[in-house]
Structure 1
Amino acid sequence: PSGTKEAIGRALRWIAAHQKSDGSWSNADFGKECGKLGKGSCAGKGGEPYDVGATGLALLCFLGDGHSPSTGAQREVTARGLDWLVKQQTVEGLIGTRELHHFMYEHALACAALCEGVGLGAEALRAPAERAVAFLLSGRHPEGAWRYDVPATELGDTSITGWAVNALVAASRAGITVEDAALEGAAKWIERVTEPLTGRVGYLQPGEFSARTTENSAYPSEMGEALTAVGLLVRLQLGQKPESTPVLLAHARLISRKPPVIDKEFGGDQYFWYYATCALHELGAPYWDAWEPELRKSVIQGQVKRGDAEGSWDAIGPWAFATGRLSSTALMTLALECFYRYPRALGAK
Structure 2
Amino acid sequence: MSVRYRLAVRGWLLGPALFVALCGPAGVSQCAAQGPVVDADWEITPESEQALERGLAWLARTQGPQGNWESNDLGLVGLGALAFLSAGHMPGRGKYGDEVDRALQFVVKNARPSGLLNIADAQRDMYNHGLAAFVLGQAYGMTGDPQIGRALDRALKLIANTQCEDGGWDYRARRQPRGHDLSLVVMQAKALRSAVDTGFEVRGDVVRLSIGSVRGYYKPLNNAKGDDLAAREGPGQFTYDGHRDTVAMAAAGVVCLQEFGQYDDWRIPKNMDAITKEVSKLKQVRGNGEVPFDAYTLYYVGQAIYQVGGEHWRKDYPILRDQLVQAQVRRPDSPNDDGCWRDTRWVHGKPGQLYGTSVGCFLLAIPNRYLPILQEGKIESLREQVGGARSPR
TM-score (structure 1 length as normaliser): 0.80
Q: Which position in structure 2 is the counterpart of 1:251?
A: 271
One of 236, 240, 261 as aligned partner of 1:199: 236
The one-letter code matched in structure 2 to 1:55 is: V
Considering only aligned residues, what root-mean-square deviation do their CA atoms show, in Å? 2.3
Distance 1:125 1:74, change over 3 A: same
Cα displacement string for residues 257-304 of structure 1 (whole angstroms, at most 9, x for unaligned residues):
10162388x973332222112111221222222212321231111111
Q: Residue type matched to 2:64 in 1?
A: K
Specify the code of the residue in structure 2 equivalent to 1:165. A
Which aligned pairs between 1:1-349 and structure 2 lie closer than 5 A?
Answer: 1-2=44-45, 3-27=47-71, 50-97=72-119, 99-121=121-143, 122-153=145-176, 154-196=178-220, 197-205=234-242, 207-210=243-246, 225-241=247-263, 244-259=264-279, 261-262=282-283, 268-306=293-331, 307-308=334-335, 309-316=337-344, 318-321=345-348, 324-341=352-369, 342-343=374-375, 345-346=377-378
Give the Cα–Cα distance (whole angstroms) in 1 for the partners of residues 97 and 204 of structure 2: 33
In the alignment, the residues of structure 2 paired with residue 271 and residue 95 of structure 1 have an alpha-carbon distance, to the nearest angstrom, of 19
3-state SS in 2 of match to 1:195: strand
- Percent of paired sites with the same residue: 25
Find the aligned partners of 1:117 and 1:25 in 2 and give their Cα distance.
Answer: 19
How many residues align structurally? Answer: 306
Q: Secondary structure at the match of 2:279?
A: coil
Residues 324, 298 of structure 1: alpha-carbon distance in 2 compared, 3 angstrom cutoff: same
The alpha-carbon deviation at position 98 of structure 1 amounts to 7.3
Q: CA deviation at 1:321?
A: 4.0
Query: Using the alignment, how far apart are the partners of 1:72 and 1:142 within structure 2?
Result: 46
| Structure with the larger helix share | 2
Distance in 1 separating the partners of 2:120 and 2:328:
35
Any unmatched runs of 5+ in structure 1? 28-49, 211-224
Shift in Å, 1:52: 1.7
Q: Distance in 2 between matches of 1:186 and 1:156?
A: 13
* Structure 1 residue 344: Cα displacement: 6.2
C-alpha displacement of 1:159 = 0.8
The structural deviation recorded for 1:191 is 0.6
Deviation at 1:336, TM superposition (A): 2.0
TM-score normalized with structure 2 length = 0.72
Structure 1 residues 137 and 340: CA distance shift in structure 2, 3 A:
farther
Q: Which structure would you say has the larger Rg? A: 2
